[in-house]
Amino acid sequence: MDEVSGASRFLSAFAAIENHFKWKLQTDYGRTGFVKIAEEYARRHHTQLDLPALRMFADLRNALVHHDYYGGRPVADPVPDIVEAIERLRDKIISPPTVLHVLPHRPLASFGPSDPLRAVLEEIRWHDYSQFPIYDDHTYRGLLTTNCIARWLAHRLATDEIVEGETVGAALAFVEPHDRAVHLSRTTTVPQAIKKLSPPADGGLPPTALIITHSGKPDQSPLSIVVADDLPVLVAAMDAGT
């Protein structure tokens, strides 16, 4: 370790996390336990936290502050790995990475209602995409999914022939409520995206996709689309090194 003791670094990082929670909550929690404050922060800010790690760090903090001191410094020092782990966690909580920073850049396929459906099928064939935002005059009109296309196809096969000029709009008519997207801004963090794509506490269904625009407005050009298949990458970005 350098001349700043491991205990001092650990306590500084812990205090930074605790102060961040309290500042963001803007509430005087008095003698409320640290873990309870962390849980409230996660609930209010719709984010996920590594609560087991925070509980362990809280126990270690309590042990350090009640341990003997010599020359104004704790006698005991946490091992370097623990100090580095809480500093990484502090950085992720206070300045979490954004979705745009973590996910690899990839071409975004979007269409209009009058575009030929065969263009969407080509994208599915070549890039294995499953969700496509649909825009009409630069305004978002809905999310076309492969499930939606399958429902359209089943209907067409049962009622009529499929013609060459089928449009995106024809398939979009078969969108169901769960075929939905949520628009978020370019500053959306990885924990916020994970929370949005996770099943809500009320037992409902999460959105099929997150569409990232400059400030989260549906009439802005999409910068990226985030889907459930991206969750492993997002979770790994928060878990790496902790």
Q: Which residue has the tokens 């990885």?
A: 190
pLDDT, greater one: 157 or 164? 157
- The count of other CB atoms within 10 Å of the CB of residue 242 is 12
Angle at 179 between CA 177 and CA 183, to 5 degrees: 105
- The count of other CB atoms within 10 Å of the CB of residue 45 is 16
pLDDT in tens, 217-232: 999 999 999 999 999 9
Is the pLDDT assigned to residue 62 strictly greater than 90?
no
CA 219, distance to chain mean position in Å, is 22
Q: Which of 123-127, 182-186, 199-203 shows the lowest per-residue confidence on average (mean pLDDT)?
A: 199-203
Q: Is 202 exposed, middle or buried (0-12, 13-18, 19+ CB in 10 A)?
A: exposed
Could you tell me if 63 and 75 are in contact, meaning their C-beta atoms sit under 8 angstroms apart? no
Instruction: Please state the three-class secondary structure of 23-50 as a single string.
Output: HHHCCCCCCCCHHHHHHHHHHHCCCCCC
Is the pLDDT assigned to residue 119 strictly greater than 50?
yes
Mean pLDDT of 191-203: 84
Mean pLDDT (the chain) is: 87
pLDDT in tens, 27-43: 766 667 898 999 988 88
pLDDT grade, residue 1 (50/70/90)? very low
Q: Report pLDDT for 133.
A: 95
3-class state of residue 15 by DSSP: helix
Q: Report pLDDT for 12.
A: 94
pLDDT grade, residue 148 (50/70/90)? very high
Domains and CATH numbers, the chain: 6-95 (no CATH), 101-239 (3.10.580.10)
Is the pLDDT assigned to residue 161 strictly greater than 50?
yes
pLDDT in tens, 65-110: 876 666 566 666 788 999 999 999 999 899 889 999 999 888 788 9
The pTM is what?
0.75
Q: Report pLDDT for 7.
A: 85
Euclidean distance between the first and the last CA atom of the chain, given in angstroms as a whole number: 19
